[in-house]
Amino acid sequence: MKPKIAILCSGGDVSGMNPALKRFVEYAYARGMEPYFVHHGFEGLIDNLITPAAYSDVAGIITRGGTKIGSSRSKRFMEPAFRSIAAENLKTHGITMLIVLGGDGSFRGMERFYTEHGISFCGIPSTIDNDINGTDYCLGVDTALGVIKEAIDQIRDTASSFRRAFIIETMGRNCGYLALISAITSGAELCLIPEIPIDIHEYTGCFKSQIAKGRDYFIAVVSEALNSTEVAHWFEEELGFESRVSVLGHIQRGGNPSVYDRLMAYKFVTYAIDALSEGKTHSVICYTKSHFTFKTIDEVALHPYRIDEELLSLGREQFLPSHCQM
């Protein structure tokens, strides 16, 4: 009898989930398994939205953002009674292994689910926030950075034409990764993230000097954890620059998956299926220092994520007021 394996998406969608679903179906069949989809995340587990997956289900989806099988955030899954229903649904289908595309909250839920009901699982970090401890890269990040890059490049055209300051707000929850990488690689004049505390008023003298020497626009990239509106007010009141706030919002989560996200989706799923086939019962596949490693839920979910110190050093070097070029 062939082993049965299922996959679900939990939390925010990312570009890269559909390529992961395609690889999941193809590689599960190659390993002699029966693949299943769980639709709409943990809610689907509870409501028994579990269906066999075929090649036809994943044909052509590699180019699409989002996730064909849907995702959700489930409060019900936090309750033992609903987890029992979810476990019974999986057992009814004969499914003994589960791959979860999600974040640390999803992995904590699966750890409890495994402890209570013995359903083996492997987690794949999937969030554009890139804020999961233990991995340098989460699925979807590369595409999100590409979307932000395009937006900033286009906004710069307008900023330079109208002598304006544009404050561009990126996603990231309480993590400044997206804002930091985007600011560095777009040549922004200012970057504000929680990990590098800055008093924006310390820029006043430097920026006034730059204006006197001919600078006629500014690009500031700000993490959503901070107040973009206050930054816009500062530009107008302190520097006399007309300002606009552009909140990029959910466009960062969508879009045609980048080549890198497609490739990493294939690799993540391959490692996850191999791990479950070889008897790993509850782990997360992480990518650090150009290598894939398996880590426990405690390593991933019980410690806060910290942006790589080398990246923070680049940010301090480029954006601290003391390094501002007069």
Per-residue confidence (pLDDT) for residue 326, from 0 to 100 = 66
User: CATH no. for residue 28?
Assistant: 3.40.50.450
In the sheet that holds 242-247, the strands lie side by side as 190-192, 218-223, 164-170, 242-247
Q: Note the pTM of the prediction, 2 decimals.
A: 0.92
Q: What is the pLDDT of residues 10-26, one digit of tens each?
A: 999 999 999 999 999 99
Residue 118 lies in a domain: yes
Report the number of distinct structural domains present in the chain: 2
Band (pLDDT 50/70/90 cuts) for residue 1 is confident
Q: What is the pLDDT of residues 271-290, one digit of tens each?
A: 999 999 999 999 999 998 77
The answer to whether residues 171 and 228 touch, using CB atoms and an 8 Å cutoff, is: no
Torsion from C-alpha of 303, 308, 309, 310, nearest 10 degrees? 170
Per-residue confidence (pLDDT) for residue 322, from 0 to 100 = 74
Per-residue confidence (pLDDT) for residue 299, from 0 to 100 = 81
Query: Mind telling me the catalytic residues?
Result: 129
Same domain, 247 and 290: no
Same domain, 154 and 205: yes
Q: What is the pLDDT of residues 161-173, one digit of tens each?
A: 888 999 999 999 8
Same domain, 155 and 207: yes
DSSP string for residues in 8-20: EE-SS--TTHHHH
What is the span of the domain harbouring residue 236? 142-253+309-323
